[in-house]
């Protein structure tokens, strides 16, 4: 049980499934969390009947994901009365009147008859199943598929999706961020969910590697959240440039030099499944030192997790030796964002307290340290969130 989710989505995120699987260090579907300060739960008085109902529902729902059950609407069962649906997608009153606190027949069939590896946490990664008793759960699987087209003249809305990288070429081992943009090219407003990261469950990013290997970017965790729909006026555009894809739950992605092709699908505009035209980026051939520094990360799943979660303290020793190598062994290269990204990540780590449940002691947040790191960060070619964070912490430090 947590307070509020500290990341994209914040109060809208009511639960999370952690799903990380790499060869030597496999923990797929072994952790779930429920956020008691999320909007879906704080709508009700703590301790009241409805509050208990929401907490229990979210908890069983997340455990269901842990047992490899997808959202009912990802499996074509949009109106199923089960723990695995979102009551808000149906009429909540209809849902709660009909719901009898059970999984539906398909889910029960899966739980009773699927192979052990499909169900047991720690075995198959989320949404990967040996049986075909259930489908769905893959990132972007039609979360808004069967939502009827809004009636307010939306056929004149023309949503357009674009995806690209923040730089045309990258140094070997450099962090790669992607930017996705939604443009309304129509003459009437459209509604969209502002959920542009693969972990939000509505965006699927596909990357074709230089030798043809296809990678579907799989986030190390999946957020269950209330996707409130926002309005995008004609001619309007909205973008998110913080999609971190240097590595995902399955490990490194850009681990060979050459040309990579990016594409994306987005299910966050009701009534549409949008496809972005392909774009490309190139990873340059490394020097010996650049390659050595890059593999320091790719051989260490825990360090990748620490960087992915922007909390170096998760893998402190590996982090220190990696940082040391980046700062002192990489050739001086203003075009390489790796040092700036690492300094930024160190700053974020100091912005919040860190206390693992099993550790004897934790770390307090240290805004002075965070500020000192952030001042050094050159934000060029990093996501716009970096500049925002720099300003935010500078303001905070002035206030204190």
Quote the least distance from Cβ 16 to Zn ion, whole Å. 9
265 phi and psi angles, rounded to 5 deg: -125, 145
What's the min distance (Å) between Cβ of 144 and Zn ion? 14
- 80 contacts Zn ion (rule: CB under 5 A): no
- Count of residues touching Zn ion (by CB under 5 A): 1
CB of 58 to Zn ion, least distance (A): 9
β-sheet bridge partners, residue 214: 208
Two tokens at 38?
């999320």
> Which parts of 222-241 interact with Zn ion (CB under 5 A)?
224
Q: Which is nearer to Zn ion, 136 or 186 (CB)?
A: 136
Contact set for Zn ion, span 272-301 (CB under 5 A): none
- Considering beta carbons, is residue 201 or 301 the nearer one to Zn ion? 201
Q: How far apart are CA 271 and CA 267, in angstroms?
A: 8
Q: Could you tell me how far CA 104 lies from the centroid of its own chain?
A: 28
Residue 217 vs 224, nearer CB to Zn ion: 224
Orientation of helix 288-298 relative to helix 301-308, angle to 10°: 90
Nearer to Zn ion, 64 or 301 (CB): 64
Q: Distance (Å, rounded) from C-alpha 336 to C-alpha 169?
A: 10
Candidates 279, 251, 255, 296; CA nearest to 171 is: 255
The least CB distance from residue 57 to Zn ion, in Å, is 11
CB 79 within 8 A of CB 94: no
Nearer Cβ to Zn ion, position 224 or 314? 224
Which helix (H) or strand (E) segment holds residue 398: the answer is: helix 384-399
Quote the least distance from Cβ 140 to Zn ion, whole Å.
14
Cβ 65 to Zn ion shortest distance, Å: 6
Q: What is the DSSP string of 244-293?
A: E-SEETTEES--SSEEEEEEEEE--STT--EEEEEEEEEEPPPPHHHHHH
CA separation for the pair 114, 159 (Å, rounded):
40
Q: State the number of CA atoms in the 13 A half-sphere of 189 facing the CB.
A: 9
Q: What are the strands of the beta sheet with 169-170, ordered from one edge?
A: 169-170, 274-283, 258-266, 203-208, 214-216
Minimum distance from CB of 35 to Zn ion (Å)? 13
Six-digit token pair at 355?
Answer: 């206390």
Site string for Zn ion, 182-221 (x = CB under 5 A): ----------------------------------------
Residue with smaller CB distance to Zn ion, 17 or 232 = 17
| Choice between 20 and 224, CB closer to Zn ion | 224
Torsion angle (degrees, nearest 10) of CA 14, 10, 29, 78: 50
Q: Which of 95, 260 has the CB closer to Zn ion? A: 95
CA distance 201 to 223: 7
CA atoms within 13 A on the CB side of 94: 9
- For residues 104 and 101, give the distance between their C-alpha atoms in angstroms, rounded to a whole number: 9
In the complex, minimum distance from the CB of residue 120 to Zn ion, in angstroms, rounded to a whole number: 19
CB of 101 to Zn ion, least distance (A): 17
Nearer Cβ to Zn ion, position 38 or 165? 38
Residue nearest to Zn ion (CB): 224
Pick the closer one to Zn ion by CB: 54 or 318: 54
Residue 100 beta carbon to Zn ion: minimum distance, rounded to whole angstroms: 20
List interacting residues with Zn ion (CB under 5 A): 224
């Amino acid at each position: 049980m947590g307070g509020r989710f500290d990341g994209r989505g914040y109060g809208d995120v009511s639960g999370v499934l952690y799903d990380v699987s790499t060869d030597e260090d496999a923990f797929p579907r072994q952790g779930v969390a429920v956020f008691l300060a999320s909007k879906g739960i704080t709508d009700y008085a703590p301790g009241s009947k409805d509050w208990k109902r929401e907490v229990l529902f979210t908890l069983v729902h997340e455990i269901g994901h842990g047992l490899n059950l997808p959202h009912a609407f990802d499996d074509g069962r949009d109106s199923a009365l089960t723990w695995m649906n979102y009551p808000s997608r149906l009429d909540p009153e209809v849902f709660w009147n009909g719901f009898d606190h059970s999984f539906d027949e398909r889910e029960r069939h899966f739980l009773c008859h699927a192979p052990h590896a499909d169900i047991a946490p720690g075995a198959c990664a989320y949404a990967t199943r040996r049986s075909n008793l259930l489908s769905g759960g893959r990132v972007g699987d039609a979360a808004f598929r069967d939502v009827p087209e809004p009636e307010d003249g939306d056929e004149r809305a023309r949503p357009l999706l674009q995806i690209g990288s923040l730089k045309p070429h990258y140094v070997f081992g450099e962090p790669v961020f992607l930017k996705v943009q939604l443009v309304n090219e129509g003459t009437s407003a459209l509604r969209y969910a502002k959920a542009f990261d693969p972990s939000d469950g509505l965006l699927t990013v596909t990357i074709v590697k230089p030798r043809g290997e296809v990678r579907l970017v799989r986030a190390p965790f999946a957020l269950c959240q209330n996707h409130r729909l926002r309005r995008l006026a004609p001619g309007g555009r909205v973008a998110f440039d913080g999609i971190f894809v240097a590595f995902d739950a399955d490990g490194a992605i850009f681990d060979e030099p050459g040309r990579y092709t990016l594409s994306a699908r987005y299910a966050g505009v009701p009534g549409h499944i949008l496809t972005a035209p392909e774009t490309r980026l190139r990873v340059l051939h490394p020097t010996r030192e650049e390659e050595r520094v890059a593999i320091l990360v790719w051989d260490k799943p825990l360090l990748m997790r620490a960087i992915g979660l922007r909390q170096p303290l998760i893998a402190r020793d590996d982090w220190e030796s990696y940082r040391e190598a980046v700062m002192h062994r990489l050739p001086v290269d203003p075009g390489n964002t790796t040092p700036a990204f690492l300094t930024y990540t160190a700053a974020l780590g100091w912005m919040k307290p860190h206390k693992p449940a099993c550790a004897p002691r934790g770390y307090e947040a240290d805004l002075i340290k965070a500020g000192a790191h952030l001042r050094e960060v050159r934000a060029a070619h990093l996501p716009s969130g970096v500049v925002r964070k720099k300003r935010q912490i500078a303001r905070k430090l002035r206030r204190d």
